[in-house]
Amino acid sequence: MPSFELVVLGCGGGPSEHNLSSYLLKPSGAPWSEGIIALEAGSGIGALDRLLRDQPNLFGADQVSLKDDGGASICTAAEVYSWIKCFLVSHAHLDHIAGLALTASTLGKRCDVYGARQCLSIVEKLFSGELWPRLASWNVNDSRPLTLRELPNDATYHSVSGFSDLSIRIMPLSHGRYSGEATYHSSAFFIRRSGTQHDTARELLFFGDVEPDSLATEPHTRDVWRTAASMIPDTLDTIFIECSYPSGRADDELFGHLSPEHLTAELRALATEVVNARTQTRQPDNSQDYDPDEGPVRPRKRQRRDNTNPSLRGALAGLKVYIIHCKDDLRGAYTEPIYRVIAAQVRALVEAEELGAEIIGVEQGMKIGVYYFA
């Protein structure tokens, strides 16, 4: 049985507006109608309506309001959208918040929007009354439909409204520059489902847009990998991460995003952190590093963790990496959908390095169960 269930409302990186970053998540075992976390809010009701026309049973038959021509129960887009308890937004670029703006006045209830302070401050400007009506506020006591709720970067997990068994830890990411050398920040989210007396806590890791650490003025991704490393794969076996462009894209044309070559380098960095975490766990003396080829390294010879060169073969076995945010192939350069092209390129590179991770391209309309096996 999965710990989480997720429906891909939108997963593209633009510019097509019908398929933008938007994922509907719930803990498994509960009906969708009991509550959804919206991860990002690029696509909204329009995309959801299109999906339900093609897949009327995408969310099951709970809390339905209409019948199809054959008398079967179906959900409407507005009904499903009303099940959203809160939004989780990684950054405030339009392809991640357009749906939030367009649907804010139609939610029918107050809804919390969680994110980093910088992100939510930009969202607040969107709802300033000039670009869009004043529909969002930091004040939990006013009547506006959206309440902005900061998730502090304080190395702790924070509860979110509507879910007693889910909590979120946020970490910063670099997503290019926006004013001279100033870094535009995005966010990564560790989403935890609390354990029970019969099971332990489980997590998934969701990345907003991110650039390679090798190109970033303020590299942050390695910190995310270090945090995740000790949990892979027993507690955390699923990562959603962007790869916006296919292979061969020049570094100066990535605009704060990843290509297959850079994503593979990032997964190599994750594998290194996983190996380090496992070897340190096996070492009774934490004052020593461990080199798989030479054994323990005395403190006087200790080097930075980034400089270790462990064998990474199979380090990411059991980990599923879902590729998201692929930019549309507007020139028709490929005969296959772009998400398949990019996922295949990443898969070939990862397999060549024998890292062990399973690479999966995400498609709009997919329903994903995040499974954990003891």
Structural domains in the chain plus CATH codes = 2-64+74-281+311-371 (3.60.15.10)
Mean pLDDT of the chain: 90
**What pLDDT score does 192 carry?**
97
Say whether pLDDT at 84 is over 50: yes
**What pLDDT score does 282 carry?**
73
CB neighbourhood size of 72 (10 A): 12
Distance (Å, whole) CA 4 – CA 10: 18
Decide: 205 and 224 in contact? Cβ < 8 Å.
Answer: yes
Say whether pLDDT at 315 is over 60: yes
Distance (Å, whole) CA 226 – CA 308: 14
Say whether pLDDT at 71 is over 50: no
Decide: 39 and 55 in contact? Cβ < 8 Å.
Answer: no
Say whether pLDDT at 61 is over 90: no
**What pLDDT score does 179 carry?**
80
The closest alpha carbon to 260, from 314, 363, 338, 183, belongs to 338
Average pLDDT over residues 127-145: 95
**What pLDDT score does 43 carry?**
98
Per-residue model confidence as pLDDT tens digits over 250-307: 999 999 999 999 999 999 999 999 999 999 877 665 445 445 455 555 444 444 444 4
Going from the C-alpha of 285 to that of each of 19, 188, 205, 241, the distances in angstroms are: 51, 32, 30, 35
Average pLDDT over residues 51-72: 69
The DSSP result for 280-326, as a single string, is: HHH-S-TTSEEETTTEEE-GGG---GGG-----TTTTTT-EEEEE-B
Average pLDDT over residues 354-363: 98
**What pLDDT score does 197 carry?**
52
Average pLDDT over residues 340-353: 98
Which residue blocks in the chain are alpha helix, DSSP H?
Answer: 45-54, 77-82, 94-103, 117-126, 221-229, 260-282, 338-352
**What pLDDT score does 233 carry?**
96
**What pLDDT score does 109 carry?**
85
**What pLDDT score does 310 carry?**
54
**67 exposure class (CB count in 10 Å sphere: 0-12, 13-18, 19+):** exposed
Average pLDDT over residues 175-200: 87
Going from the C-alpha of 117 to that of each of 28, 46, 47, 84, the distances in angstroms are: 30, 29, 28, 22
- The pTM (predicted TM-score) of the whole model is 0.90
**What pLDDT score does 196 carry?**
61
Phi and psi for 314 in degrees, rounded to 5?
A: 75, 10
**What pLDDT score does 108 carry?**
77
Distance (Å, whole) CA 96 – CA 80: 19
Q: Specify the 3-state DSSP secondary structure of 93.
A: coil
Task: Assign 370 a pLDDT band (cuts: 50, 70, 90).
Answer: confident
Q: Is the backbone peptide bond immediately before 233 cis, with ω within 30 degrees of 0?
A: yes
Q: Is the backbone peptide bond immediately before 15 cis, with ω within 30 degrees of 0?
A: yes
Number of H helices, E strands in the chain: 7, 19
Amino acid at 287: S
Average pLDDT over residues 75-85: 93
Distance (Å, whole) CA 142 – CA 140: 6
Amino acid at 189: F
CA angle 325, 330, 334 (to 5 degrees): 85
Task: Assign 2 a pLDDT band (cuts: 50, 70, 90).
Answer: confident
Per-residue model confidence as pLDDT tens digits over 10-57: 999 999 999 999 999 999 989 999 999 999 999 999 999 999 999 999
Decide: 346 and 323 in contact? Cβ < 8 Å.
Answer: yes
**What pLDDT score does 70 carry?**
52
Share of the chain above pLDDT 90, in %: 79
